[in-house]
């Protein structure tokens, strides 16, 4: 077993045995085992400082000790996500001790996970989106393809898999819409908008044939030698343009999908319309974007209102 950091504490043997169990029985990586180790050491060190028990601290800790420890974490300002991971580590450790008959009671059995709330997805400002969209060199076939892809991604709020799987047959220029095959093979029609239509038409006229390189395909956005582009390839293309645009947010295809939804709501779009455009089957999935819009409104209020 690869060595982890030294642990000069009374809990060393118990923790090392548990970490070896994780390695042998579950094949967990060194980084994961080190995370378990840090969590267990923190609890062990807290027990040393806050209890009178000088014996095998982790083996003799009580549920009350654990609850006091979690209260201490709260007072110290630990994030609920970090505390949830700490509880998960302790739960795995005490279940291991119970199964190996080193203890008779699992002190984590009645401990609930902290409420973490729902993390807001990353998004971009409208100015950042404009910078990103204008980053490709449209004098080249690849740059023109990438500009069209970015325009469509933002204008239509597509998932990356929906974007790279687009075919020529999915486009209806007369009506200005794309026919999207989403999750569960569900179809939806999404308006493209004039800018996206113009860039897409320019790309098809000037660049798509060169990229196909005589390869017969209905794929709208081919990659190397005319083959369909992979999601990973376009993900790397966005990272490249993210750097060129100088955007500090870590941009991914999904961040542009979030920007699409957030900007629609910021400009007064109805939530159910956004739900249909995104292809969400449940409105509750879409409602996360109302929190982003409200958060942005709060920022604007603080910035511009005289009593903000």
Question: Which residues are within 8 A (CB) of 266 and not within 5 positions of it... i.e. 6 or more apart?
Answer: 293, 296
Tokens of 209: 């044939």
Which of 50, 81, 183, 240 is catalytic? The answer is 183
How far is Cα 277 from Cα 191, in angstroms, rounded to an integer?
9
CB-CB contact of 186 with 279 (8 Å): yes
257 is catalytic: yes
Residue with tokens 């047959």: 169
Phi/psi at 233 (nearest 5 deg)?
A: -65, -45
Tokens of 119: 């993390």
How far is Cα 48 from Cα 118, in angstroms, rounded to an integer?
35
Which of 94, 96, 154, 289 is catalytic? The answer is 289
Residue with tokens 């060169």: 210
215 is catalytic: no
Tokens of 254: 């999904």
174 is catalytic: no
Which of 147, 208, 257, 263 is catalytic? The answer is 257
How far is Cα 102 from Cα 15, in angstroms, rounded to an integer?
13
159 is catalytic: yes
Residue with tokens 């542009």: 256
Which of 21, 95, 231, 280 is catalytic? The answer is 280
Which of 33, 73, 145, 159 is catalytic? The answer is 159
Which of 91, 254, 291, 296 is catalytic? The answer is 254
Point out which residues pair with 302 in neighbouring strands.
none
Point out which residues pair with 181 in neighbouring strands.
187
Q: Give me the DSSP letters along 268-290.
A: T--HHHHHHHHT-SSHHHHTHHH
CB-CB contact of 166 with 221 (8 Å): yes
Show which residues are catalytic: 159, 183, 254, 257, 280, 289
């Amino acid at each position: 077993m690869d060595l982890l950091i030294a642990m000069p504490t009374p809990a060393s043997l118990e923790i090392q045995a548990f970490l070896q169990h994780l390695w042998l029985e579950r094949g967990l990586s060194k980084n994961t085992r080190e995370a378990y180790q840090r969590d267990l050491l923190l609890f062990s060190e807290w027990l040393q400082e806050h209890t009178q028990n000088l014996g095998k601290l982790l083996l003799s800790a009580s549920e009350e000790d654990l609850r006091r420890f979690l209260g201490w974490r709260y007072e110290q300002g630990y994030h609920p996500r970090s505390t949830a991971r700490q509880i998960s580590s302790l739960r795995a450790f005490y279940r291991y001790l119970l199964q190996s008959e080193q203890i008779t009671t699992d002190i984590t059995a009645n401990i609930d996970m902290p409420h973490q709330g729902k993390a807001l997805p990353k998004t971009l400002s409208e100015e950042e989106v404009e910078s990103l969209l204008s980053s490709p060199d449209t004098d080249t076939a690849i740059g023109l393809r990438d500009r069209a892809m970015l325009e469509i991604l933002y204008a239509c709020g597509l998932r990356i898999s929906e974007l790279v799987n687009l075919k020529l047959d999915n486009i209806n220029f007369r009506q200005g819409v794309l026919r999207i095959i989403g999750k569960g093979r569900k179809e939806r029609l999404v308006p493209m908008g004039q800018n996206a239509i113009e860039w897409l038409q320019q790309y098809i006229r000037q660049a798509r044939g060169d990229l196909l390189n005589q390869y017969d395909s209905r794929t709208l956005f081919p990659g190397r030698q005319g083959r369909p582009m992979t999601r990973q390839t376009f993900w790397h293309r966005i990272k490249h343009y993210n750097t060129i645009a100088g955007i500090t947010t870590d941009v991914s295809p999904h961040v542009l999908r979030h920007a699409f939804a957030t900007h629609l709501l910021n400009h007064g779009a109805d939530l159910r319309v956004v739900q249909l455009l995104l292809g969400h089957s449940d409105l509750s999935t879409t409602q996360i974007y109302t929190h982003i819009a409200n958060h942005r409104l709060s920022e604007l209020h603080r910035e511009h209102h005289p009593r903000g």
